[in-house]
Amino acid sequence: MLEREMIRRVEARLRAVEERTGVQVVAAAIERADVYHGLRWRAFALMAALGGLIVALGGPRYAGWMADATAFFAAATVLGAGLVGALLVTLAPPIARLFLEPLRAQAEVRQRAAVIFLERELFATRDRTAVLLLVCGFERLAVVMPDSGLRARAREEEWRAAEHTMAVHLRARRPGEGLLAGLDALEQLLAAKGFTAPAGASNELPDRPLTGKDGP
């Protein structure tokens, strides 16, 4: 999802946030949080139903046809319309998003963030002051997931404000800019809460952003 130059920019900005605040930050950009197989079936069902409606409305026109020919036409229309719907969902993400409930998307993105948080052991920092910034291209959603040493230092809506800032860029198909905006918002929030890097602080987590088709 991120080009080489954008990865470099995000890494440099992330390192600057860590040096100023003393907080360990991990940034991740993935194409989607889940494969959502059910979206194809929903599109198939909807288009097949529309195909059936077309057959029903056009039925009187074909009353003079042979029964077998009429049945074949009806079946081909219904199945063909359903297959077109499933194909559109597979090839066109904007159409696929029409069949994805917002609550389901939010749940999957947060679950994916939790998996990355555990897999990358963000909980293992010395003061439990790590935070994950995740952007998901397909869902166009972002998550800011702080560890226990950070969570109580800011209100929930303050963490969510950073997510909304990132999501604005995702809707414009700019995941890298979303991460940069998220890092800016995170730095401002942490600085306002009094976070500063202690003398001799070490870098406990990799700075390079995590990228991949379906996530790390």
CA atoms of 133 and 141, how far apart (whole Å): 11
Per-residue pLDDT reduced to its tens digit, 188-199: 999 999 999 888
Q: How many domains does the chain have?
A: 2
Is 129 found in the same domain as 113?
Answer: yes
Report pLDDT for 23. Answer: 96
Report pLDDT for 59. Answer: 58
Q: What residues have CB less than 8 Å from 153, skipping those under 6 apart?
A: 193, 195
Report pLDDT for 100. Answer: 95
Average model confidence (pLDDT) across the chain: 89
CA separation, residue 92 to residues 40, 88, 89, 135, 176 (Å): 11, 6, 5, 20, 22
Can you tell me the mean pLDDT for 41-65?
Answer: 75
Six token digits for residue 190: 């942490």
Is 162 found in the same domain as 138?
Answer: yes
Is 29 found in the same domain as 52?
Answer: no
Does residue 64 register a pLDDT over 70? no
Q: How confident is the model at residue 69 (pLDDT cuts 50, 70, 90)?
A: low
Does residue 63 register a pLDDT over 60? no
CA atoms of 27 and 1, how far apart (whole Å): 13
* Residue-range definition of the domain harbouring residue 105: 4-34+101-212
Does residue 25 register a pLDDT over 70? yes
CA atoms of 199 and 186, how far apart (whole Å): 21
Is 154 found in the same domain as 65?
Answer: no
CA atoms of 6 and 95, how far apart (whole Å): 28
Does residue 203 register a pLDDT over 80? yes
Q: How confident is the model at residue 66 (pLDDT cuts 50, 70, 90)?
A: very low
| The domain boundary residue, chosen from 54, 78, 98 | 98
pTM exceeding the 0.85 threshold for the entire prediction:
yes
Is 110 found in the same domain as 22?
Answer: yes
Q: How confident is the model at residue 52 (pLDDT cuts 50, 70, 90)?
A: confident
Can you tell me the mean pLDDT for 32-36?
Answer: 93
Report pLDDT for 216. Answer: 46
Is 178 found in the same domain as 117?
Answer: yes
- Structure-token match 């198939």, residue found: 44
Q: Is 153 helix (H, G, I), strand (E, B) or coil?
A: coil
Q: How confident is the model at residue 214 (pLDDT cuts 50, 70, 90)?
A: very low
User: Three-state secondary structure along 36-70?
Assistant: CCHHHHHHHHHHHHHHHHHHHHHHHHHCCCCHHHH
Backbone angles phi, psi at 26, to 5 degrees: -120, 130
| The domain boundary residue, chosen from 50, 72, 98 | 98
